[in-house]
């Protein structure tokens, strides 16, 4: 039986919101209470349903409490920006340096958002939207006329893929859109105390939080930033109407919607079903994804800045118009003449989860050969943006190319990722006429972990258990040629299997992908083994490796393909090329030349 002392201790801990510690040291001294609290932290609050996006194997950690009020944060790819409107400063944290730097003084910024290589700020103090570029120069994006209405001070903001800015005016009850050319228009009015806002990953929906009633609204995004179809998406029905309110927002790549409430970060799926909550030590006012894998959710508020590890990563930003000098080796992502791009198309759906792709189409009537492009990242990180340059280059050379996102290992284990790849081919073939694709000439290119998926896709056209239910089930997912760049074919044997047994601190990525070692999950490892699936019907496969890499791991697959009479080739003449050189100059163009030759011959 629990003693009264233990009950009172638990109540005290819960009331003080101190159960989420910054490390794994004892939360409180009493071992019985400590054990009970630790057990409770492993599960979300009762009544929640769905797949929990919070990684509760990692505790909530304090990053810094040196703020009067840490407000809307943003991640630039290498640093975290956090404005403090009470202290009238904006700070930037560089995790690698473990240091904070003051980037602006005497500025009452209430929120920040990073996109297109720039950090945008809601300047609540002067009623403006400003941005800081890669050269650290400041630009005025928009200025409200405070002489007519002093309440017209931006509260929060979000920047879309075209460079347009949505921001909230809490007092007037409006949402304003500033076009990429600088034209401002009110796109929603009669919104009760609008506060936070965020776009869905496909940018078809804008979510807006109403602070006082603690409601989340959704709007359909129309052309030129216009909004329609105002709908109640969700409500913070915490039974405490006296507590305010619904604040800053974020979204992850699965489309889950996050909003800071009086005590917690609330998380809903894209259909409005409550999935999870993150209890905050003190009241949080905003949140944003960051970190090298975009899986760190930074919470800002009256207690400073905290970070919570997540299972699902955030949405990557759009690239700058030009890479900075420090990244001059990266290929251009400017859209070349004669190429059209369609970003964030939905190629598959699993309930509320939309799978997105970027499509690049060459000029001409077609039909054109097509190439599916699969990014790498050890199955646990990465996104389609990593291969945008390749997609554009392929389109420039006359291929319809489609770079896809797929479900990463900690969101969904194998075979979810290969289900997505098969679904992507079916989408291309089912929509061949619309996108000018020749349905009989579809190839696949993948790098690193994406190379494994490319090889597995190419060898499993008849393996129904790997096809999934992402849509267009009656359409074939067979490809006619494949390019495997620096990735493994063997999974149940070789280095991947060995590392699953031997790698410690960190454990092998395969553990996350399959849910165990090769000894614990032998059936899944074999199912994922592209080498085992090779047969006489396998399409031609080109293997590419950087000059400094050892291609010996794919030699068994090359031998097997040759024995079966399947065309194959190994190219590793890319001098000094390291892993990932396909996305860097001077190797990018030579590797693209070889891919084009392979597809010209076999598609």
d(CA 454, CA 447): 8
d(CA 217, CA 208): 5
Range with the poorest average pLDDT among 89-93, 134-138, 237-241, 456-460: 237-241
The 8-class DSSP code of residue 92 comes to E
Q: Are residues 146 and 203 in the same domain?
A: yes
pLDDT at 501: 97
Q: Which of left, alpha, beta for 338 (phi over 0: left; psi -120 to 50: alpha)?
A: left
Q: What is the pLDDT of residues 245-260, one digit of tens each?
A: 999 999 999 999 999 9
d(CA 167, CA 157): 4
Q: Are residues 133 and 149 in the same domain?
A: yes
pLDDT at 267: 97
pLDDT at 322: 87
Q: Would you say residue 321 lies in a domain? A: no
User: Is the pTM above the cut of 0.85?
Assistant: yes
Q: Are residues 55 and 23 in the same domain?
A: no
Q: Are residues 251 and 271 in the same domain?
A: yes
Q: Would you say residue 115 lies in a domain? A: yes
d(CA 146, CA 465): 62
| Contact predicate 33/12, CB 8 Å | no
Is pLDDT above 90 for 568? yes
Q: Would you say residue 323 lies in a domain? A: no
Tell me the average pLDDT across 193-217: 98
Q: What is the pLDDT of residues 70-126, one digit of tens each?
A: 999 999 999 999 999 999 999 999 999 999 999 999 999 999 999 999 999 999 999
| Contact predicate 281/17, CB 8 Å | yes
Q: What is the pLDDT of residues 480-512, one digit of tens each?
A: 999 999 999 999 999 999 999 999 989 999 999
- Which structural domain, as residue segments, surrounds residue 21? 1-40
The residues, ordered by sequence, that sit 6+ positions from 317 with a Cβ below 8 Å of its Cβ are: 77, 114, 115, 116
Beta bridge partners of 314: 252
Is pLDDT above 70 for 184? yes
| Contact predicate 140/187, CB 8 Å | no
Q: Are residues 239 and 371 in the same domain?
A: no
pLDDT at 51: 63
pLDDT at 469: 97
The residues, ordered by sequence, that sit 6+ positions from 265 with a Cβ below 8 Å of its Cβ are: 258, 259, 277, 278, 280, 284, 287, 297, 299
Closest CA to 415 of 460, 381, 360, 447: 460
pLDDT at 10: 36
pLDDT cut 90: percent of the chain above it: 88
Is pLDDT above 60 for 32? no
d(CA 389, CA 372): 14
Q: Assign residue 233 the CATH number of its domain.
A: 2.120.10.30
Q: Are residues 279 and 354 in the same domain?
A: no
pLDDT at 61: 96
Q: Would you say residue 325 lies in a domain? A: no
Per the structure, the count of domains in the chain is 4
| Contact predicate 511/500, CB 8 Å | yes
Is pLDDT above 70 for 193? yes
| Contact predicate 265/280, CB 8 Å | yes
Q: What is the pLDDT of residues 519-536, one digit of tens each?
A: 999 999 999 999 999 999
Is pLDDT above 70 for 22? no
Is pLDDT above 60 for 16? no
Q: Are residues 444 and 565 in the same domain?
A: yes
Residue 16 exposure: Cα atoms within 13 Å on the Cβ side = 12
Q: Are residues 125 and 242 in the same domain?
A: yes
| Encoded tokens for 495 | 């280095």
| Encoded tokens for 87 | 């202290």
Is pLDDT above 80 for 7? no
Is pLDDT above 80 for 350? yes
Q: Are residues 463 and 430 in the same domain?
A: yes
pLDDT at 505: 86
3-state secondary structure of 352: coil
d(CA 323, CA 333): 9
Q: Are residues 339 and 433 in the same domain?
A: yes
Q: Would you say residue 507 lies in a domain? A: yes
| Contact predicate 234/240, CB 8 Å | no
Tell me the average pLDDT across 465-485: 97
CA 153 → CA 20, 144, 193, 211, distances in Å?
Answer: 34, 7, 13, 16
Tell me the average pLDDT across 24-32: 34
Q: Would you say residue 322 lies in a domain? A: no
Domain boundary among 277, 309, 341: 309
Domain boundary among 479, 507, 528: 528
Q: Are residues 139 and 211 in the same domain?
A: yes
Tell me the average pLDDT across 545-550: 97
Is pLDDT above 60 for 424? yes
pLDDT at 44: 38
Radius of gyration from C-alpha coordinates of the chain = 25
Q: Are residues 111 and 176 in the same domain?
A: yes
Is pLDDT above 60 for 41? no
Q: Would you say residue 12 lies in a domain? A: yes
| Contact predicate 276/267, CB 8 Å | yes
Q: Would you say residue 317 lies in a domain? A: no
Identify the residue with better confidence: 474 or 321.
474
pLDDT at 239: 85
| Contact predicate 124/107, CB 8 Å | no
Q: Assign residue 483 the CATH number of its domain.
A: 3.40.50.1820
| 228 class by beta-carbon count within 10 Å (0-12 exposed, 13-18 middle, 19+ buried) | exposed
Mean pLDDT of the chain: 91
Q: How many residues does the chain have?
A: 603
Domain boundary among 309, 324, 352: 309
How many other CB atoms are found less than 10 A from the CB of residue 430? 18
């Amino acid at each position: 039986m629990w003693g009264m002392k233990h009950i009172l201790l638990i109540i005290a801990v819960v009331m003080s919101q101190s159960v989420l510690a910054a490390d794994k040291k004892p939360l409180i001294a009493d071992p019985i209470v400590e054990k009970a609290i630790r057990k409770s932290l492993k599960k979300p609050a009762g009544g929640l349903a769905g797949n929990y996006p919070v990684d509760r194997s990692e505790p909530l950690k304090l990053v810094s409490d040196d703020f009067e009020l840490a407000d809307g944060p943003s991640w630039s790819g290498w640093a975290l920006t956090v404005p403090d409107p009470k202290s009238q400063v904006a700070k930037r944290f560089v995790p690698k340096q473990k240091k904070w730097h003051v980037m602006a003084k005497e500025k009452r910024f209430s929120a920040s958002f990073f996109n297109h290589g720039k950090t945008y700020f809601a300047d609540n103090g002067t009623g403006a939207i400003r941005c800081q570029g890669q050269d650290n120069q400041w630009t005025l994006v928009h200025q409200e006329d405070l002489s007519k209405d002093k309440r017209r001070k931006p509260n929060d903001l979000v920047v879309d893929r075209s460079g347009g800015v949505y921001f909230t005016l809490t007092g007037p009850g409006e949402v304003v859109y500033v076009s990429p050319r600088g034209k401002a228009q009110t796109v929603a009015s009669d919104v009760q105390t609008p506060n936070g806002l965020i776009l869905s990953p496909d940018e078809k929906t804008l979510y807006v939080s109403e602070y006082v009633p603690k409601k989340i609204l959704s709007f359909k995004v129309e052309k030129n930033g216009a909004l329609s179809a105002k709908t109640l998406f969700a409500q913070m029905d915490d039974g405490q109407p006296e507590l305010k309110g619904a604040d800053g927002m974020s979204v992850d790549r699965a489309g889950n919607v996050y909003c800071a409430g009086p005590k917690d970060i609330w998380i809903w799926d894209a259909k409005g079903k409550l999935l999870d909550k993150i209890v905050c030590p003190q009241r949080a006012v905003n949140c944003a994804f960051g970190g090298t894998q975009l899986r760190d959710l930074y919470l800002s508020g009256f207690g400073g800045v905290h970070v919570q590890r997540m299972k699902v990563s955030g949405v990557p930003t759009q690239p700058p118009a030009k890479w900075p000098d420090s990244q001059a080796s990266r290929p251009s992502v400017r859209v070349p003449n004669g190429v059209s791009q369609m970003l964030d198309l939905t190629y598959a759906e699993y309930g509320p989860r939309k799978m997105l792709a970027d499509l690049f189409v060459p000029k001409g009537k077609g039909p054109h050969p097509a190439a599916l492009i699969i990014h790498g990242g050890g199955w646990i990180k990465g996104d389609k943006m990593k291969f945008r340059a390749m997609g554009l280059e392929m389109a420039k050379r006359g291929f319809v190319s489609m770079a896809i996102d797929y479900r990463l290992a900690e969101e969904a284990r194998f075979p979810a990722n290969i289900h997505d790849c098969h679904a992507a081919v079916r989408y291309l073939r089912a929509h061949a006429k619309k996108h000018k694709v020749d349905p009989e000439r579809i190839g696949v290119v993948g790098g690193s972990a994406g190379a494994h998926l490319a090889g597995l896709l190419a060898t499993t056209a008849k393996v129904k258990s790997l096809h999934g239910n992402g849509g267009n089930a009656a359409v074939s997912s067979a490809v006619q040629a494949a390019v495997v760049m620096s990735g493994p074919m063997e999974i149940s044997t070789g280095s991947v299997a060995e590392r699953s047994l031997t790698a410690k601190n960190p454990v092998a990525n395969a553990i996350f992908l399959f849910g165990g070692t090769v000894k614990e999950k032998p059936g899944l490892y074999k199912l994922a083994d592209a080498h085992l699936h090779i047969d006489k019907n396998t399409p031609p496969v080109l293997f590419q490796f950087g000059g400094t890499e050892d291609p010996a791991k794919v030699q068994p697959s090359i031998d097997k393909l040759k024995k079966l009479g399947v065309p194959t080739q190994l190219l590793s003449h890319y001098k000094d090329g390291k892993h990932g050189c396909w996305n860097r100059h001077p190797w990018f163009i030579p590797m693209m030349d070889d891919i084009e030759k392979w597809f010209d011959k076999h598609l």
